[in-house]
Chain A
Amino acid sequence: MIKNYFKIALRNLWKDKTFTGLNILGLTVAFTVAILLSIYALFELSYDRFHKNVDSIYHIYASEQTPDGPGVSTAKPIPFADALQREVPGVEKITKYMGGNVLITHGNKELRMEAAYVDPDFFSIFSFPVIKGNKQHLIEDQSSIVITEKTAKILFGEENALGRTVNILQQGQQRPYTISSILEDIPAQSTMRFNLALNFKNQSDFVYADNIGNWEKSNHSVYLKLSEGVVPTQFEKATRDFTALHYKDDIKDFKRDGIQPDKNGQYIQQRLLGYKDIHFATEKNGNADTSRLYPFLILGIAFLVLFIASANFINMSIAKSAGRLREIGMRKTLGASKAQLFFQFWGESVLIYFMSALIGIVLANLLLGQFQTIFRTSAAFGNVISPSIVIAFFIGVMVITLISGGYPSLLMTKLSTIQSLKGKLEVTGKNRLRDGLLILQFGITILLISGTLVLWDQLEYMRNKDVGFNKEQVIAFPLNGKREDAQAIQLMRNELADTPGIVNITASNNILGLGKDGTSSTSAMGFDYKGRGVKTNILIVDHDYTETLDLEIIKGRSFSRDFKSDSLGLIINQAMADQLQEKDPLQTQIILFDSINYSVLGVVKDFNFQGFDKSIEPLTLFLNPKWNMRNVYVKVSGNNPLQSMSRIEQAWAKIEPNAEFLGSFLDENIDRTLTRERLMTTMIGSGSILAVILSCVGLFAMSLLVVTQRRKEIGIRKVVGASVSTITLLLTKEFLKLVLIAFLIATPIAWWFTSQWLQGYVYRIDLSVLTFLLAGGIVLVIAIATISTKTIGAATQNPVKSLRTE
């Protein structure tokens, strides 16, 4: 029986090569893309899930009330973790965490690596399994270091790394550490990434040793595992006394400044962010806001793409089913039951679906590499696949086939034997379903296209926005800390002194945008000014900073080598000037660090020193060339900037032969901050291109069928004198109506979604009706082109021929 079904299925599919081909093509493409997108989304959703305790691990942060509303602060003072565990019940384990770049040397190898400074409990809270060496007591003594397998390979190749010694540059000294354990490589879905881990106590003195018992200086993150049965919200409440005790000075200042407490009367509220949510968290009104919208959006696109292909399948199956009715009637007279017939026809769709799904899996595998490059992900089959996912995929495909194959089968098999033998499909509402599906398809397509256009507009807007500094002609690169920064910068200056194309060189502690090494940073501080608390971001700069970046000084002057006293001078931005509320900001004196008197030298026009989707916060520039200046900025002249780039690279190679050069233009750095937007645009964009193609495949098939079905009518109309254009219009109109309805339905939805999305940006485009009209127009033009290929052909046919064949 099965064999018989199978045979007839294959023969039927073979007989109707056009439709089989269109169906398999559409479904295969849809499956390929849906699989890739699902892998991506599942990968995102599985972030950090590999930690066995993930449900009871939390990141503790604080919501702080400020004059501008509540804000989030994640940094904790050194005594915090121990005190919390001691004083607030419910903490099973707790660890400090501070990431950072270190210079590690072994023999003549010298590498910058990502280090995690943690407490020993870290390894029993998180699941980073040890594969070699000591499994129980990691980094408990301060001379041991834990590295990952990959790091071991980099440092020692195939040699045994366990027990070996490496040097790490700390506070200007090479300190030796013994490798005590080797960790399994950190899974791709880990938010925490490091090459090596050290005991927190090994941090530089200015981070750790100098601050033991000091509640004033916050510099690291704290993670904890709650004891079983402790409810996070209860725990948060239970910390209030703890906070009131240890932050009483801060709270006193808040009260003095007239800051409003939150609705529970708290000025500082400790909060827990579930570690499983960390990958999806953003700050919102002083709270961590968890949103898995993005991966679900991607899953949604995968689903929509499959839906469009399935709608094609349903439409084609129903349209073609009339041709199979006699067979059904015949089989009934031969003794087939409804169920048997249903399974036969459903089986045919299962066959098509599984064939497409299988080819889809193969294609997805082949395209995975490119997909990973384009979407900058390490998502792969390997790191998302699990028995439940495989079963879910299987069931998913079955359900889709049950609906898209089952429905047409049901329509066919429920007819009485006599009706089917007559070969007439008298199903009312058949065209309504077809039209409904086509409207949905085109609606989705228009939705995706307008989404893409809006995203694209916003992306371009952000890329081209005036950020207030020269991003086209400035190259930035990080120093490696091997030499004193000031010395390295001086050497750079000397090296590039008379080089043509090099205009200016400066440095600062923080990078603008996102550097090539993937880092970004900001520093901030608060102080009392005229009895008010004032908060500002700070930037420590070298000479020529404003000149190199073409920052506009709107009042006063920039730092100058001519005035020795400029090291006690400040340059502030407009936002800071507004905050100080002085008539003449240049008269402002600020006392900082207990007793040092700084004076404002100039006011710089606001520029985007932080993320480009944030409003510009107060900023203060300090001149301190001796400070840690990790980022060098070089302004180059407009002609042949690439040559200048390679000159800078050569100069750097002369100074630090073993170090990597990670230079990039600032506009690239800005682009890097827009990765998420660009990815989303690419994803939705490719989704919409696919939606267009698939919808048009369906439309093409439908127009093919309608033209065949109405051949006689067309012939008669022509005989009685209808022109080619009226007939083309007649045939085309029917479908264009559907596209129009789809446009009317989809546009408000697209408008709503995109305007919601734009709310998340401080600098955003205004939505324009034109964008949506353009989306509708694109779809309309493509639809007309698709239909016309068939309708014009039919309309120009010799009527005698079409009448004869009927």
Chain B
Amino acid sequence: MLLELKNIFKWVNSGGNRVFLLKDINLQVEEGAFISIMGLSGSGKSTMLNVLGMLDTFDEGEYLFNEQPVHQLKEKHRSRLFKENMGFVFQAYHLIDELTVYENIETPLLYKKIKSSERKALVSDMLDRFNIVGKKDLFPAQLSGGQQQLVGVARALVSKPKLLLADEPTGNLNSKQGEEIMELFKQLNQEGVTIVQVTHSEKNAAYGSQIIELLDGRVISR
């Protein structure tokens, strides 16, 4: 078992009332799984993904990652766990505008304090793999949306994470570009990367081996 959410609740206080963002979420993610999360806009998909990715906290429940209770870990320990295991892909790409393609992909490695020579090799691998060697010195603004997302995925994968979290990765792409990304995910999954993605599209959701549907912060079907 890679990770497990047990009875997770998350809420915000609004005018003295608790507004629940997540209600009693239970989820088990096996190593090598490919899970798609679906649901209406505002149903809590992003919130759940962020909790999974340790970007956001929750108010009640347990979160085990590799058998370790994340909610009890110290900040430092948790951030190491995060650094070593997670890769993120966003709908809005979220590349750093001031860095080139190459530098964007390199950044996570810098934070992991990987040596320069090794860094070079890893980034080159990614550039090769995604066929963007020729674009490595361009800045994000000079790329199309599909290419930017490709860079986003490459950057998420460069540090070889166990778990790839993707929040509507195809949301800003046309269908052909979206399909390419999905094919890529499929391939990655076959290579052993565990993937949790949020998507609106049934077609994209079908790439996953399991679909979870959220409504008002609650899992309504799996």
Contact = CB atoms under 8 A, between A and B. Distances in A.
B64 interface: no
Interface in A1-22: 1, 4, 7-8, 11-12, 15
B56 interface: yes
A331 B111 CA distance: 9
A15 B56 CA distance: 32
Interface string A413-444: 00011100100000000000000000000000
B55 A334 contact: no
A340 interface: yes
Nearest to B167: A421
B79 A7 contact: no
A335 interface: yes
Contact of A334 (B50, B97, B155): B155
A8 B99 CA distance: 7
A421 B83 CA distance: 18
B53 interface: yes
Interface string A329-342: 11111111100100
B96 A330 contact: yes
Nearest to A8: B98
A417 B55 contact: yes
A330 B94 contact: yes
A8 B110 contact: no
B20 interface: no
A7 B104 CA distance: 12
Which bracket fits the contact residues of B?
20 to 34
B135 to A, nearest CB: 18
B103 interface: yes
Nearest to A417: B55
Contacts of B106: 4
A333 B98 contact: no
A326 interface: yes
A340 B111 contact: yes
B93 to A, nearest CB: 10
Contacts of B50: 417-418
Interface string A1-45: 100100110011001000000000000000000000000000000
Interface string B78-120: 0100110010101000111111000100111011110000000
Contacts of A418: 50, 55-56
Contacts of B83: 335
B53 A333 contact: yes
Given A335-B82, A337-B79, A4 B107 contact: yes
Interface in A295-348: 326-327, 329-337, 340
Contacts of A326: 94
Nearest to A333: B88
A334 B111 CA distance: 7
Contacts of A331: 96, 107, 111
Contacts of A332: 55
Residue from the set A326, A330, A332, A417 with the largest chain B CB neighbour count within 10 Å: A330
Interface in A331-375: 331-337, 340
Contact of A421 (B82, B86, B94, B111): B94
Nearest to A341: B111
Contact of A1 (B53, B110, B159): B110
Contact of A335 (B79, B95, B97, B99): B79
A335 B111 contact: yes
A482 B188 CA distance: 105
Nearest to B50: A418
Contacts of A4: 99, 103, 106-107, 110
A7 B103 contact: yes
A414 B24 CA distance: 29
Interface in B152-170: 155, 159
Interface in B133-176: 155, 159
B107 A334 contact: yes
Nearest to A329: B94
A333 B55 contact: yes
Nearest to B98: A11
A426 B75 CA distance: 23
A335 B79 CA distance: 7
A11 B99 CA distance: 8
Given A333-B53, A333-B55, A335-B79, A12 B111 contact: no
Contacts of B79: 335, 337
A548 B179 CA distance: 106
Contacts of A12: 98
Contacts of A340: 111
Contacts of B111: 331, 334-337, 340
A8 B82 contact: no
Residue from the set B94, B99, B108 with the largest chain A CB neighbour count within 10 Å: B94
A337 B50 CA distance: 17
A421 to B, nearest CB: 7
A8 B112 CA distance: 18
A340 B82 CA distance: 16
Nearest to B56: A418
Contacts of A335: 79, 82-83, 108, 111-112, 159
Contacts of A11: 98-99
A340 B90 CA distance: 22
A329 B96 CA distance: 10
Contacts of B110: 1, 4
A680 to B, nearest CB: 48
A15 B98 CA distance: 9
Nearest to B89: A333
Contacts of B98: 7-8, 11-12, 15, 327
B102 to A, nearest CB: 11
A334 B103 contact: no
B108 A334 contact: yes
B97 to A, nearest CB: 8
A487 B203 CA distance: 119
B113 to A, nearest CB: 8
A331 B103 CA distance: 12
Contacts of A7: 98-99, 103
A30 B96 CA distance: 33
Nearest to B76: A337
Nearest to A334: B108
A419 to B, nearest CB: 10
Contacts of B56: 416-418
A421 B95 CA distance: 11
Contacts of A330: 94-96
Interface string B166-192: 000000000000000000000000000
Contacts of A8: 96, 98-99
Contacts of B86: 333
Nearest to B113: A1
Interface string A612-624: 0000000000000
17 contacts: A4-B107, A7-B103, A11-B99, A12-B98, A331-B96, A331-B107, A333-B88, A334-B108, A334-B111, A335-B82, A335-B112, A340-B111, A417-B50, A417-B55, A418-B55, A421-B90, A421-B94
Given A4-B107, A326-B94, A331-B107, 13 more contacts: A327-B97, A331-B96, A331-B111, A333-B55, A333-B86, A334-B108, A335-B79, A335-B111, A335-B159, A337-B111, A417-B56, A418-B55, A418-B56
Interface of A: 1, 4, 7-8, 11-12, 15, 326-327, 329-337, 340, 416-418, 421
The 9 closest A-B pairs by CB, nearest first: A335-B83, A335-B111, A11-B98, A334-B108, A333-B88, A417-B55, A330-B94, A8-B98, A1-B110
